[in-house]
Amino acid sequence: MSKTLPVVGILGGGQLGKMLALAAHPWDLPIHMLDRSPDYPGGPVSTKFFTGDFNNYDDVVAFGQQADILTVEIEHVNTAALKTLKAAGKIVHPDPDILEIIKDKGLQKEFYKKNNLPTADFRLYKDLNDLKAAIDRAEVTYPFVQKSREAGYDGKGVVVIKDAEMIEQCLPGGCVIEPLVPIDKEIAVVVARNADGACQSFEPVEMQFHPTANLVELLFCPAALTAKQASKVSQLARQVIETYQLCGLLAVEFFLTKDGEWLINEVAPRPHNSGHHTINSCVTSQFEQHLRAILNWPLGDTTERQPAAMINLLGADGHTGPVAYEGMETCLGLADCHLHLYGKTQTRPFRKMGHATALADDIATAIEKVRTIKNTLKIVSHAQKES
């Protein structure tokens, strides 16, 4: 291993950490990871794995001391520890102050409002009683969307409340309330920025959601947008990363409303599900781009070589336990289809276990191929398979 390359420390050893480490391998860049178990996806591909809790101040400080540059694969980390490391001279991207804004949906919404960036109207409430009082005085009217301010991940902190009968489904704790936006399309743009201020975005992707699990199930790139729409949303994503002054990747999720208006939904300051296709379809992957950005190296070419579709591979319903894969060989027989299995040892219903990307000359064919993979590849558990 070259001693001249900086050690990159990643908080989190899940699939995003794994894919970052894989992108670092061709450069021989040392990747250290912190998470609760080396059995997590990042364990086998990291240069060094540290067992600990990225939410624990002491664990993060001890981990950070042996790295040169720190980054995250999840935003819910101990930011106080990252501030200590930054004050001690470590490079930390994304900056802990930005992470604190992004990980609280309420602060995120206030940030957009303050900076005149377009987002759905909103109000903040401190708990359920506070929200119910606002409903009573007709400050909040049905239907509305309620989002937990913190720890929302993959749709678990979001509910749509259509009428008074659904009030018991409201989430406890501090929340953001938004009107139900008439959404035409959900679009994401992954954009990168380095410390020199260079910015580069990937082409907009269009997301389709799983009907029950509320997870992105399928995405395709390029999105079905006019050239004018694509350029507008890319320019907005760039404006968002520049306003945050963030170094690294920022995935910006947008709603295109039925009136043709662009609204920022939320951002993630790290590689994102909506950029997974870039591994197979773009000159530079989002993972390589994140490393380039945090290291202040030249940003890579984001050109998409071919239209792509991507699906998340979820654990089969009714299966919990040690993982097994069925139908893999059939999928590998499909032309220009790429399986990425994360190596999680345990499956459970709807758990994200991997993703698949298909390339084709047109989007419709690429989507058809990922649908075939979805119907063919089953992620089950040994225990239930054998019984």
Positions that interact with ligand ADP (CB under 6 A): 120, 145, 147, 152, 154-155, 157-158, 178, 180-181, 183, 186, 209, 253, 265-266
* Beta carbon of residue 182, minimum distance to ligand ADP (angstroms, whole number): 8
Phi-psi region of 239 (alpha: psi -120 to 50; beta: other; left: phi over 0): alpha
Q: Are strands 183-193 and 205-209 parallel, antiparallel or unpaired?
A: antiparallel
* Beta carbon of residue 178, minimum distance to ligand ADP (angstroms, whole number): 4
Q: Which is nearer to ligand ADP, 158 or 360 (CB)?
A: 158
Q: Which is nearer to ligand ADP, 157 or 275 (CB)?
A: 157
* Beta carbon of residue 361, minimum distance to ligand ADP (angstroms, whole number): 29
Q: Looking up tokens 């903040």, which residue turns up?
A: 124
State how far the alpha carbon of 71 is from the alpha carbons of 20, 100, 258, in Å: 11, 14, 37
Distance in angstroms (rounded) separating the CA atoms of residues 281 and 363: 12
Reduced to 3 states (helix: H, G, I; strand: E, B; else coil), residue 318 is coil
The two three-digit tokens of residue 59, written as one number: 């664990």
287: Cβ contacts below 8 Å, ≥ 6 apart: 16, 19, 20, 22, 23, 271, 279
* Beta carbon of residue 312, minimum distance to ligand ADP (angstroms, whole number): 13
Q: Where are the beta strands (DSSP E) in 198-247?
A: 199-201, 205-209, 216-221
Q: Which is nearer to ligand ADP, 100 or 336 (CB)?
A: 100
* Beta carbon of residue 29, minimum distance to ligand ADP (angstroms, whole number): 30
* Beta carbon of residue 287, minimum distance to ligand ADP (angstroms, whole number): 20
Q: Which is nearer to ligand ADP, 34 or 171 (CB)?
A: 171
Q: Which is nearer to ligand ADP, 123 or 374 (CB)?
A: 123
Q: Which is nearer to ligand ADP, 186 or 203 (CB)?
A: 186
The two three-digit tokens of residue 39, written as one number: 């059995």
